[in-house]
Structure 1
Amino acid sequence: MNAAMRPAFPFAALVGQAPLQQALLLAAIDPGLGGVLVSGPRGTAKSTAARALAELLPEGQLVNLPLGASEERLIGTLDIETVLRDGSVRFSPGLLAKAHRGVLYVDEVNLLPDALVDALLDAAASGVNTVERDGVSHSHDASFVLIGTMNPEEGELRPQLIDRFGLMVELQNCFEPLVRQQIVKARLAFDLDPQGFRAAYALQQDAYVERIRAAREALPQLVFDDAVHAHVSVLCIAAAVDGLRADLVMLRAARALAAYEQAAAVTTEHVERVAEAVLMHRRHDRAARDNAAPNQTSFDADEVSSQEVASSTSGAAAASGDSDWGYLPPEPAGITQVKGVIPLSAKKR
């Protein structure tokens, strides 16, 4: 059986991956969040989770973007000769078109060329892919759940790109014996009898599909009150994020969570539960420095004042011939006697 036909490990059977499962479900409910970036070492079920999510979506389509893909393979191509000859646009779809209503999975996204990352993030956020060439353009729907994985040991994404992922989850190696045993037992059971294992989780899988469908329908009816807006602002300011993307993503993620739980309104509790995934890759170190700003400012003022006092005192000391503040007194230069020199005659000069 080839890889494309292999049954996927059930989403409901994932063990010890609650934060990742929540982030993936939120992105499935609202693909406009901008996708999920999953960071972690090898062997932490990143690709397994991506395949598991794909079959919960309407098309059940998982599209892999290989590292060696060209930009044309990703966004598609336009046949300019046809335009010039017939006046009609002939478009050859790329992977973004194929991933519509499914999952676009990018393994080791941190190793992907920046141009490709820009293109897929644009499409993930807007739900539309536009191809332009020689003044001719073509657009098509490209609503998909973007899942990018990376191993931080192999390099980081540029800050400008990592910020554009809606949510981020950081996976760690599991060092709890009981959890490791559950994961291994589940995997061995699946490998031994995939169909039987999947049948045991069929009802839970169907429940996920129905909840995603219902949440998507409920999404437009949910609104944010002033308390939710205020709480989002407080969290984003405390994290010292750049721009307003974090605020927008946090509001949309909280709304998606409320819709998934069939809540009547978005609350600050929903905001709290999605905040870490929104801020993990946007939080700046300067937030800690800003919290200590008053003390630091006082210290700097004292330091400057001491420097000014030292400078003025040393200048006065120098003028008075004193040697304080590190100034050394002048030392007399030694004089060496030289024997008399016989002058040359005018002819030899």
Structure 2
Amino acid sequence: MASKIRIALDAMGGDHGPSVVLPAAALSLQRHPDLAFEIYGQEAVLRPLLDRHPTLAAVSTLHHTDIAIRMDDKPSQALRYGRRVSSMWLSIEAVKRGQADAAVSAGNTGALMAMARFCLHTMARIERPAIAALWPTLRGESIVLDLGASIGADARALVDMAVMGAAMARVVLDIEAPSVGLLNIGVEEVKGLEMVREAGRLLREAPPPGLTYHGFVEGDDIGKGTVDVVVTEGFAGNIALKTAEGTAKQISGYLRAAMSRTIWAKIGYIFAKGAFDALRDKLDPRKVNGGVFLGLNGIVVKSHGGADAEGYAAAIDLAYDMVKQDLMRKIIESLDLDQRAAVETVSAGGDA
């Protein structure tokens, strides 16, 4: 019998906590019967909810903890009172101890990143982890990183993100040599911040193995799907993400208002309902919920704090895919190959 893929869940995290996390786990289990769960949180709250899902209960181990990280806690506060005893920390620690293959939380992003970095540590050579997520585009899907793990990044960090993002694209998008672009204020090589121009030079002159460097891309290229992987530092990436989420809600609001304005608009909606349903499905953020923390010695996935069960299940599905496709090994191999290629390039230059 094939071994189970075990996911550790911070059941107390997010805006809705266990009322969303457990139904989400049950949904994901239906799609992936080889899943099992380590669930961390307040047993008195979790046990009645778990008993409603016998199939989920049969493959789950419940771990009681009294402490839950609040959504408004500062990362330093969370580390001070929640380290080693909170549902968030224990779910991450399960990955470190080998009790789980990945951890999923909808909790406070800053606290989750601080705890994950403190507990799992970064991979060799990686100074800053990045949050990477799937982004719906006109061509299908792309991967965008960093979406807010840290503010600012030097040229070397941007190159490392390109390597890690490309490794994730090979796993999730099944593309052999994903195209990678650096987000910039223009496509010309003379534009943008010095760190972005320097990263572009490094990627252009010595492209890492396993990716195809496209060049600079602008904000509108993200939605177009111009490249498979868009790389930026966390401040710009988070603004881009929140802007896209707000625009999707704005468009949905416009459509609802327009379709209910007159009796003829309502009749037109009936005839065009299939098309509007397809558009709603495409704009549904739940389908691509989940950001992967890349650059750590373990897989941690961040769900949107306000996600419902379907959205949180998508984050669990993403964690499952990352484990199933051996993302960690592929990132390490990609970083090693890039390091070797850089050394060979320097050696060749010296020989010349």
TM-score normalized by the length of structure 1: 0.24
Q: RCO higher in 1 or 2 (8 Å CA, sep ≥ 6)? A: 2
